[in-house]
Structure 1
Amino acid sequence: SVMLKQPKRIIVCEQSEERRNFIRAHYPEVLITTPKECDKFVKSNSDHGGADRVLEVAGGKDTFQLAWQCARPNAIVTIVALYDEAQTLPLPDMYGKNLTFKTGGVDGCDCEEVLQLIEQGKIDTTPLITHRFPLSRIEEAYQLFENREDGVIKVAIYNE
């Protein structure tokens, strides 16, 4: 979806080697880094000392902090992730960044537009769907997804 906005570059920070390999195989134009190297990598691969836009979708223990640290001054940081614990804005550390934060979960309001983009071939979700289950086996599908088994990324459920 980010590619629809035609950014100059996309950098993905991903801990999982399996997911990094997936990105390399399906999106070779995307730059990839790990959480350990992310801040340095983003700063060395951006024009203004950090990312113009950051999407935080992981919701891990340190991912909120990593998101705002990778952002350049006056950037927009969008938080889609859901955290197990409250996050803190360390304002003294953020001083001078002048960041804009946007928050919220998955917005169902744009589903019709997203489905049209998929139908038009502007978004290809095919590589993301790693498993398919009939509706009668939905519990098994949820278990697979929840436990991140068998290299699952997305599960498609179909009516038998």
Structure 2
Amino acid sequence: MKGFVFHGPGRSAWEDVPDPGIKDPTDAIVRVDAVTICGTDLHILKGDVPEVPSGTVLGHEAVGEIVETGSDVRTVRPGDRVLASCISACGRCRFCKDGAYGQCRGGGGWILGHLIDGTQAEYVRVPHADLSVHPLPGALESQDAVLFADIFPTAYEVGVINGGVRPGDTVVVVGAGPIGLAAILTARLYSPERIIAVDLADSRLEAARRFGADAVVPVRDEPEQLVADLTDGIGADVVIEAVGVPESFEMCTRMVRPGGRVANVGVHGKPATLHLEDLWIKNVTITTGLVDTSSTPTLLRMAASGRVPTSELVTHTFPMDQMEEAYEVFARAADTGALKVVLGEQRHDELAVPAA
């Protein structure tokens, strides 16, 4: 089969790789019908995630069909259409029993496309299948469903829930990429007074407004001053960091009000300064985290009922064998306008595949 293989920083290729097989009785083999590219994949290609070994098939998000299961798998069977979650969960360790699947110590957590071969291939082995794949509602298109493998549960759990968004809050989302847009959509479920989006790119700020941001501001236009003006100088109740660079994190800590919450979602490849000389007196709560995906079944039900709109997030679609071109488009999002890039199945009403 073919897969997209990481060969070290700056080197990757769509090439022949061995077919996956059942290794453990809790495994499932999924034929991949739709897959997407994550910002974390770009971090891996840059060398920001050094524990990913050369030769690894990348990707941790997919929709597909079960083609084989191990002898201990009970909840899915061959022929089932499923979402392969970005997080695998053994279900037995201390953290899994608490629902903290991202911290699994039983061979799970974020392993696909990280510690083992991932989903950007024609087939993928998913360990701990009973808790790591989710049967899909028939009404949900594959290219919509694949967004719930990572970006929606990540934005919701690590951003909105960790940030403690409440009715009447002022929420600032720094970074209007896919995660930031998903944070805007899911923060709206809690009826904040206003949501402010901050980004470098005007195209992403336009998308943020379409997805429900009440105000948008480019970084060049002093977003900290806008937040101060809109909150009578107090600051935001919740600031969600959805970029993963030192400057954006430090900006978030300057925007938050005394007693407010900063929820860091971005994947950081460099150290950021924690200015405790300013923050120690402000009663600020700062959270970090890897998604657990415990919210995935709920989010899938809400998507199937139309409560969480997704279709506008997918801006580009490609066949699987154009993986390298898809990465190029996604990596140049400022030029291409890419939000989410999906490879594989097309939506039923699509007739062509845009190249950029």
Q: TM-score range by the shorter chain?
A: 0.7 to 0.9
CA contact (8 A) 1:57 1:81 kept: yes
Q: Determine if the alignment matches structure 1 residue 130 to structure 2 residue 315.
A: yes
Percent sequence identity over matched residues?
30
Aligned residues: 159
> What are the ranges of 5 or more consecutive residues in structure 1 without an aligned counterpart?
none
* Aligned twin of 1:32: 216
Displacement over 6 Å in runs of 4+: none
Please tell me the root mean square deviation across aligned C-alpha atoms, in Å: 2.0
Match of 2:337 among 129, 139, 151: 151
SS across alignment from 1:62:
helix
CA distance in 2 between counterparts of 1:7 and 1:127 reads: 22
Q: Determine if the alignment matches structure 1 residue 118 to structure 2 residue 303.
A: yes
CA distance in 2 between counterparts of 1:48 and 1:75 reads: 14
Bigger relative contact order, structure 1 or 2 (CA pairs below 8 A, ≥6 apart): 2
CA distance in 2 between counterparts of 1:116 and 1:136 reads: 31
* Aligned twin of 2:255: 70
* Aligned twin of 1:6: 191
SS across alignment from 2:295:
helix
Q: Give the stretch that moved more between structures: 48-57 or 130-139.
A: 130-139
Query: Between Structure 1 and Structure 2, whose CA radius of gyration is higher?
Result: 2
Q: TM-score, normalised by structure 2?
A: 0.42
Write 1 or 2 for the structure with the bigger share of helix.
Answer: 1
What code does the residue aligned with 1:40 have? Q
Structure 2 CA distance for partners of 1:28 and 1:80, relative to 1, 3 Å: closer
- Note the C-alpha offset of 1:27: 3.7
Q: Give the stretch that moved more between structures: 129-138 or 74-83.
A: 129-138
Q: Deviations over 1:28-82 (max 9, x none)?
A: 6521112241111111112671110110001134101100100000111100011
CA distance in 2 between counterparts of 1:119 and 1:10 reads: 25
SS across alignment from 1:10:
strand
- Note the C-alpha offset of 1:113: 2.0
CA distance in 2 between counterparts of 1:117 and 1:142 reads: 29
> What are the ranges of 5 or more consecutive residues in structure 2 without an aligned counterpart?
1-185, 347-356
Q: Deviations over 1:102-138 (max 9, x none)?
A: 1023443322222222111111111111011222323
